[in-house]
Amino acid sequence: MASIVLKRTGQKMPLIGFGLWKVTKSSCADTVYNALKAGYRLLDGAGDYGNEKEAGEGLRRAIADGVVKREEVFVTSKLWNTFHQYDHAKALAKKQLELWGIDYFDLFLVHFPIALQYVDPSHRYPPEWWGDDGKVHLQNTPMHETWRAMEELVDEGKAKNIGLSNSQGSLILDVLRYARIEPQVLQIELHPYLTQEPLLNLCKTLGIAVTGYSSLGPQSYVELGVDKGVPNLLNHDVVGTVAKNAGKSHAQVLLRWAVQQGVAVIPKSNNHDRLVQNLQVDSFELSEADMKALSSLNINLRLNDPADIDPRMGIFA
Ligand SMILES: NC(=O)c1ccc[n+]([C@@H]2O[C@H](COP(=O)([O-])OP(=O)(O)OC[C@H]3O[C@@H](n4cnc5c(N)ncnc54)[C@H](OP(=O)(O)O)[C@@H]3O)[C@@H](O)[C@H]2O)c1
């Protein structure tokens, strides 16, 4: 499987991984097991997805059955917004490792550059965006405090690599000013409606690997009722023409568009056939014209914007 070599550790991050957001909890262990059996070697989880225990069960069963060895699987997880304070970040990473039933994450990301008021995990986990009163409560924890905890997770062997998600250039440059251990990966929303070339160029310049999420565009947001009413890329005419040229599915060419730019992808599917199909995107090439045709669909449409929940969280403003 093609991979990206991470700068600090030289560790290889697979170009295609399996996303765990909205993977059904009751079948998550089996889905993860079958994803590994089908050839996936990267699992993209997060505290917020509420299925780390089940994902860990699937991974550990696959290890016990000899499907994979732990060191062959790149496990990513993310620190949620309510745990940005130094001691909370340290404690939550430990709790998340316990849920997975593993000793280290290959990559641990700060999920959003947004600090929210602490919610004790024994009270509610995952805590999501809101307090018990249904309102968003911001907290004044600066990123340098959170980043110090992230660096110590590396020192302690709990994370091999650390990185950021949903962050823009100004924050990345600021973290680099004080980082003892630099962010190795940036995970961002990326699809032909949101092409983010300047951010990709900055990461390339800095040697930060990029993972794109929601590669299939609005589809992931349809079930949440927040797809912003744009035409679905999975039945878009331009995507259809590119798919026909390549002899592949709409989903495969959308994933290929990112991979061909050197961006890792982490498609999610609760359906085994689609999960297998999504893995098969590193053995064909899109023509330059087809790459351009997909990129020309850009409308700077951000489907995952916390400002839609509360304008005080306008991290992309
Ligand atoms: N860092 C962040 O803030 C952040 C935010 C969002 C996502 N992520 C990560 O990125 C991963 C992927 O993003 P995502 O889950 O938003 O979206 P996605 O992978 O782009 O799309 C998933 C949606 O597409 C459908 N689908 C999957 N493969 C398909 C195919 N071959 N043909 C047709 N439909 C297909 C899925 O339905 P079925 O399940 O029914 O197949 C689901 O509705 C997440 O799981 C998560 O790990 C990270």
For ligand 1, atom 22: residue with the closest CA: 220
Q: What is the enclosing helix (H) or strand (E) of 183?
A: none
**154: which residues sit within 8 A by CB, 6+ positions away?**
160, 161, 162, 181
Pair type for strands 159-165 and 264-265: unpaired
Q: What is the crossing angle of helices 272-279 and 25-38, to 10°?
A: 40
Residues with CB under 6 A from ligand 1: 19-22, 44, 111, 165-166, 187, 213-216, 219-220, 234, 249, 251, 266-271, 274, 277-278, 304
Our count of domains for the chain comes to 1
Tokens (6 digits) for 255 = 């994933």
| Residue 219's CATH number | 3.20.20.100
Q: Count CB neighbours of 135 within 10 A.
A: 10
Residue 100 lies inside a defined structural domain of this protein: yes
Residue 238 lies inside a defined structural domain of this protein: no
Q: Count CB neighbours of 202 within 10 A.
A: 17
Residue 257 lies inside a defined structural domain of this protein: no
What is the span of the domain harbouring residue 13?
Answer: 3-228+263-270
Number of residues that this document lists for the chain: 317
From the alpha carbon of 215, which atom of ligand 1 is closest?
A: 20
Residue 193 annotated to the active site: no
Q: How far apart are CA 79 and CA 94, in angstroms?
A: 11
Predicted local confidence at residue 173, as pLDDT? 98
Q: Which residue in the list 40, 49, 193, 213 is annotated as catalytic?
A: 49
24 CA distance to ligand 1 centroid (A)? 12
pLDDT tens digits, one per residue of 255-297: 999 999 999 999 999 999 999 999 999 899 999 999 999 999 9
- Are the C-beta atoms of residues 108 and 95 closer than 8 Å to each other? no
Residue 51 lies inside a defined structural domain of this protein: yes
108 CA distance to ligand 1 centroid (A)? 20
Predicted local confidence at residue 50, as pLDDT? 98
Tell me which residues of the chain have a pLDDT lower than 70: none
For ligand 1, atom 47: residue with the closest CA: 19
CA angle 278, 281, 287 (to 5 degrees): 135
Residue 133 lies inside a defined structural domain of this protein: yes
Predicted local confidence at residue 1, as pLDDT? 84
253 CA distance to ligand 1 centroid (A)? 15
Question: Which residue in 187, 239, 257, 246 sits closest to 21, CA to CA?
Answer: 187
220 CA distance to ligand 1 centroid (A)? 5
**203: which residues sit within 8 A by CB, 6+ positions away?**
172, 186, 209, 210
Predicted local confidence at residue 158, as pLDDT? 98
- Confirm whether residue 111 is marked as ligand binding: yes
Q: What is the crossing angle of helices 250-259 and 288-295, to 10°?
A: 100
Residue 33 lies inside a defined structural domain of this protein: yes
Predicted local confidence at residue 144, as pLDDT? 98
Q: What is the enclosing helix (H) or strand (E) of 41?
A: none
- Are the C-beta atoms of residues 13 and 45 closer than 8 Å to each other? no
CA angle 183, 188, 192 (to 5 degrees): 145
From the alpha carbon of 223, which atom of ligand 1 is closest?
A: 43
Residue 254 lies inside a defined structural domain of this protein: no
CA count, 13 A, side-chain hemisphere, 62: 30
Residue 210 lies inside a defined structural domain of this protein: yes
